[in-house]
Amino acid sequence: MTEAVLSAKKSKKATWAAIAKAAGMSETYVASACLGENALEPAAAKKVSKLLGLKPAVTEALTEFANKGEAAATIPKEPLQYRFQEVLYVYGRTMKEIIEEKFGAGIMSAIDFSLDIEKVPDPKGDRVKVIMNGKFLAYKKW
Bridge partners (DSSP) of residue 131 are 116
Catalytic residue numbers?
A: 83, 86, 109
Bridge partners (DSSP) of residue 107 are 137
Beta strand pairing call for 127-138 and 106-120 = antiparallel
